[in-house]
A and B are shown apart, each in its own frame.
Chain A
Amino acid sequence: KSSVQTIGEEQIQNPYTELLVLKGHQDIVRFLVQIDDCRFASAGDDGIIILWNAQTGEKLHELHGHTHKITAIASFSSSDVTEEKTDLIITASADRTVIVWDCTSGRQVQKVSCFHSTVKCLTVLQRLNVWLSGGSDLCVWNRKLDLLCKTSHLTDAGISALVELPKNCVAAAVGKELIIFRLSASNNGSEGWNILEVKRLVDHQDNISSLVSVNDLTFVTGSHIGELIVWDALDCTKQASECNFWDSSVHPDVQPEIKLSQSPHETSVQHLTSDEECVFAAVGKGIYVYNLQMKRVIACQRTAHDSSVLHIEKLPNRQLISCSEDGSVRIWELREKQQLPAEPVPTGFFNMWGFGRANKQVNQAAKKMQENTPVYFLELVGDLIGHSSAVQMFLYFGELGLATCSADHLIILWKDGERESSLRSLTLFKKLAQSGDLQLKL
């Protein structure tokens, strides 16, 4: 029995009614990174990086250079530099190399192969015009790929995640620990940088699986056993923590059987994302919305997908997109439920909202929410089915659409059919005007 909420074939709010399948990769596509408004790069286990036009789906460049799978990718745009604008992408691979590519020409700018271990994460500090690579140690590089400084060997496992913090700090997740480093210009030279370990935070019980910065003041970490800790970014103290938030005791409307079927894998915080108010966590198969102000989970969808949610992103329009190992992408909307205590609500109504299967529970929930605080819930607005295997990641391009990449070697560009249609009309009339066919043929 699947408790996954489903939406029928009628999805009025789903704007994606046109799709383009982009073929090019030979293996799992794991990473998508946006270069600018209309370009993105994809990379995966085949070691190839491909640049695409997000509007037309045209393949712009195919970058070959890595011999093993790609482990990290970051784009490095130098818009702040007054010179000509160059878009770079940096890729790290299991072959222990990092390559910097020029996106315009599709050429390899430089290749570094002095690593002792695989680089697992890359972060660009735009402000400082440097980038960091995290493997078994943390290295700081400038645009020209000069090694500015590096830490000592930290751990064999390596850094799994990096996030930029204010005051030239970075937080690195190393196993269960969270290490804060501070970058500082060295005293003796203008080009020299030093990196110092500032703090080691050992509050997590298990490996930290995700790390995200919410704003200048806070960042959030999540671990494999479902701990979620909110940190103060300035002094690196724990602001709040939520563990066991899958626990039904926290949420009155949880079905008891969910508790029984828990396993570490199902509670791992796969991915975190946030807006100013909330942190959205992909935990196991579910999606949880944690409000920073209220310091509690305000809405959740325990089984949002059939299997683990791999990536989650908040859209500007209160929508949330999640993708999962089950090969589907779902669009959710965070809605505020009106308090309607007097009116008994018909079953069909709630079912349509997808809140619960049984009308009793809904009613119970409604009764319990007697306080004035608004009640939120996640409503399934649409789902995108196209990939035949796990959807690893997606990239939201605003009105250009949505790019998803998957283990089936494909990238799919999902587009708003209406918009595309009118764009085509526009192109058509432009072309007609250009070729002068308007007069002759019509």
Chain B
Amino acid sequence: MISAPDVVAFTREEELEDDLYREPPLPEEYSVPLFPFAGQGANPWAKVAGSKFTRDFILISEFSEQVGPQPLLTIPDDARVSGTFDLNYFSLRIMSVDYQASFVGHPPGSAYPKLNFVEDSKVVLGDSKEGAFAYVHHLTLYDLEARGFVRPFCMAYISADEHKIMQQFQELSTEFSKASECLKTGNRKAFANELEKKLKDLDYTRTVLHNETEQQKKANDKGYYTTQAIEKANELASVEKSIIEHQDLLRQIRSYPYRKLKDSEFHPYEPECALDRADVGRDQDLTASDPAEPCETHLYTHVPSYTPKLIKAKSAKCFDKKLKTLEELCDVYFFTQTLDQLHHIERTFRGDVCYLLTEQISRALLKQQSVTNFLFEDVSFLDEKPPEKQYRGCQGPGQDAIDEKCSEESLAPKVVISLGSYKSSVECVPIKMEQEMEDSEEPKMSESVMSEHQENLDYLDADIKGSISSGESIEVLGTEKSGSGLTKSESQASLPVMPSPQAGRSKVGSRRTVSEDSIEVLSTCPSESLIPEDFKASYPSAINEEPYVDDDEGGLRFAPRVNPGVDEGQDDVSKQESLVQVDAACCIGKESPNFLEPLPELGQKPCEEDGVVRIPPQPYRPAEQGLRGGFPSHEGPSGGLLPYELDSRYLTGSREVSKSSLDECSDSTSYISSAASTCSDRTPSPAHLACAAGERHRKRAGQNALRFIRQYPFAHPAIYSLLSGRTLVVLGEDEAMVKKLVTALSIFVPNCGMYAKPVKHWVTSALHLVDFQKWKLIGLQRAVSPAGVNVLHALSRYSRYLSILDADSKTLRCPLYKGTVVARLADHRTQIKRGSTYYMHVQSILTQLCSKAFLFTFCHHLHLPISEREPEESVVNRRMNFLKLQLGLANEDIKIVQYLAELLKLHYIQEPGRGGNPLLRFDYVPSFLYKI
């Protein structure tokens, strides 16, 4: 009993303590929900459960007129990748939201069939049931045997990560457009060939028929025609008509490049491998004003000799004949080129989206460091075509004045210059509109409509916009289809007043629930058209669906197929386009309720000058929309460095962000648009292949470097040698080992210019002074032969220019290093495990060094006297003080920065034409021998 109170007290105390230390429960809103799939392996980065494929892949599908939508091939061509994912089912879905108006054939009132040069459309689809999200790129190819001469295809980038698709939309679109352009170029060529053959056939047939008719005429002189003769004559007539038709088609297909060229955005696909062809093009470039013409016409001239055959009057039934394969449709060469491009896309977008984004951001930032980036960055990346070439001079926010102009020009939308493209954009809208409207009006109703459509599934062809193919409800989360040709005033004029946003929001909720197993059209951006930001700005609450109710019938009559008789004229078009714009705004609003709060300034944004600054559709991110709403002013022209700002800029590409004052507005506009252009150009194609290789190299180099700094206690002086421009020779008998060391150390070698890194992996002959000028890191063979003696002799002779790392005896002979930078760069106790991580660590420290070198190089007063009378010594003092005190450099670190500065100077003052003599700079400093 004695002990009992103690015990009680003790426990109580414990309880008390417990209470003290127990934290109050987090309010619900702050608690982070558990990772929903925690059960299935705790790695949150593991593939989102529900997706049936292991990684992203590309799917090409066709809407076959015989069997309906069918998958053709996947990239990578590996069954494991798509896994249990139902490609057929998914093909059906993605093809069913086909945009194509693709009206081809005999238009009413036209005597001949007309080819329609349809724009590709780009749609983002989601299938939450399958856990698949896709960027879908629809295109049509011409096929003489196909119905209406067109075969609809689509290429889809399928990923389990919705954000990835949305955030990389612009990049995906650019890359897929290239692939599509390649396919279509090949297809036009093949189609023209096919037409020519057909024409020859027809010609031959006509001759034969003609002869037969003549014979018959001669044979019967009764004065009246036999039915046989009449038949023949009819046949002849139809053949002749067919000839004219085909000739017309041929003319149309050949005129394609001419027509397209008016379009500023049109980049004819030029095969890179076929140099001769390109040369032809270039040569004629000088004479002809139109660059694509020679190319394309040239393509068509290679028609092999062909023996015509007789054509029967009646062709085989549609279902009997075998349709051409994709490869046949587009010419083998172009087909393989396309596949290459697609493989390249697959490689480029592999991996987690955060990784891709980081990569893109760092690339964009590096681009801006135009003065220093050559020092340590990948040569491949720097070798990229300068953005001016590809994107007409939109380099970055640095050059506001120029950029504003350029971006306006370059972003000039694909405005409806050719009727074809205009039509297509018109035609593709209404169905979506219908869809949208029905959908938004009342889910139930839409469902009924859809089931109705379901019955019609079999009838689906390219003409019917089959967004309604599935039995489940389809949710169009967003369409961004801008009638970019419109002037803003028109669109505003036609817009009805917006009611309160409340309704829209509530609907969002309700719709979300339905989306359980549905295809969601997250966003469609047919063509590189633009979000009409102005419009959005003027009608911030355009998210409401009500206007559609008013416009319901309007929406219906836009579909030319449904109501072909209607001749509304320009007004309607504009109206309908404005609706689309509402639509676009709407979809954004749905995603982020925050955005619904109308920003007061935005509405008053007056129409600016006539020139509408056009901004391409940007992938938007729901999460950050809200963020942006919260900090509307963070987009100052100066704040271009935080990735997050960069992101928010390019995700919106919007102008409404900071429009408090006109100055700021114009400033930010240009900034934004230029930023937009940088983000569109940050993944240009030529770099990517090299990038993938560089990636692997980096990883390996990082790994080796990590091993090096752990193994060799004298890593620091070795790295110092490299950073200060003293050539490091890695001497050893074993080539593999030497090369490995060289690879490891190569990441520390500053570039001397825009050329390859000054690294030589393996040399067997004696070194000469010239080699030290050229190479800063050399792998050298140690041989026992007389030649080997020479090699060693040369090393000892030139030892003052060299640091020598003996890989065999594990010694290093080089100057002393007592600085601090390298210690941070290469800490042998580092916790970094992975090569690529270490590589990044190295890059970040090297970038710091670069910035110091930049400051040092470009500070005027550090190198030149402030006043005329100032003695040289005081300048030198100032320089040293700056290095020591301002830059915080100690001892040998100064040498590093000085060397980098010297490289910067040389690089900057170098005449562009001349390579310039390579310098060898050195110091007379004693070397020491380091041993393990």
Contact = CB atoms under 8 A, between A and B. Distances in A.
Given A17-B923, A382-B924, A441-B398, A421 B908 contact: no
B919 A19 contact: yes
Contacts of A235: none
Contacts of A385: 797-798, 800
B832 interface: no
Interface in A213-241: none
B393 to A, nearest CB: 15
Given A21-B769, A388-B769, A424-B905, A11 B920 contact: no
A410 B769 CA distance: 10
A330 B317 CA distance: 96
A440 B917 CA distance: 29
Nearest to A23: B770
Interface string B788-801: 00000010011110
Among B799, B857, B860, which residue has the most Cβ atoms of chain A within 10 A? B860
B917 A421 contact: no
Given A425-B863, A427-B909, A388 B921 contact: no
Nearest to B767: A388
Given A56-B917, A424-B905, A431-B909, A18 B863 contact: no
Given A10-B926, A412-B769, A441-B398, A428 B909 contact: yes
Given A424-B902, A424-B909, A426-B863, A9 B920 contact: no
Given A425-B905, A428-B908, A441-B398, A19 B863 contact: no
Interface in A418-442: 420-422, 424-429, 431-432, 440-442
Contact of A422 (B399, B768, B863): B863
B773 interface: yes
Given A9-B926, A385-B797, A421 B902 contact: yes
Interface string A40-65: 00000000000000001110000000
A198 interface: no
B909 A21 contact: no
Contacts of A421: 898, 902, 905
B924 A12 contact: yes
Contacts of B219: none
B843 interface: no
Among B371, B908, B921, B924, which residue has the most Cβ atoms of chain A within 10 A? B924
Contacts of B798: 385
A422 to B, nearest CB: 6
A18 B920 contact: yes
Contact of A426 (B773, B864, B922, B927): B864
User: Chain A contact residues (Cβ within 8 angstroms of B): what range?
Assistant: 35 or more
A422 B860 CA distance: 11
Interface residues of B, number: 33
Interface in B894-929: 898, 902, 905-906, 908-909, 917, 919-927
Interface of chain A: mostly helix, strand, loop or mixed: mixed
Nearest to A21: B770
Contacts of B333: none
B10 interface: no
B482 to A, nearest CB: 34
A10 B921 contact: no
A441 B368 CA distance: 10
A9 B908 contact: no
A266 B585 CA distance: 95
Nearest to B908: A428
A9 B773 contact: no
Given A388-B794, A424-B902, A440 B398 contact: yes
A201 interface: no
Nearest to B862: A425
Contact of B857 (A9, A18, A57, A428): A428
Contacts of B773: 21
28 contacts: A9-B800, A9-B924, A10-B924, A10-B926, A17-B921, A18-B919, A19-B919, A20-B920, A21-B770, A21-B773, A56-B917, A57-B917, A382-B924, A388-B768, A388-B794, A410-B769, A421-B902, A424-B902, A424-B906, A425-B905, A428-B857, A428-B858, A428-B863, A428-B905, A431-B909, A432-B858, A440-B398, A442-B858
- Which are the 5 A-B pairs with shortest beta-carbon distances? A425-B863, A11-B924, A424-B905, A57-B917, A9-B926
Given A9-B925, A20-B917, A20-B920, 4 more contacts: A18-B920, A388-B768, A388-B769, A426-B863
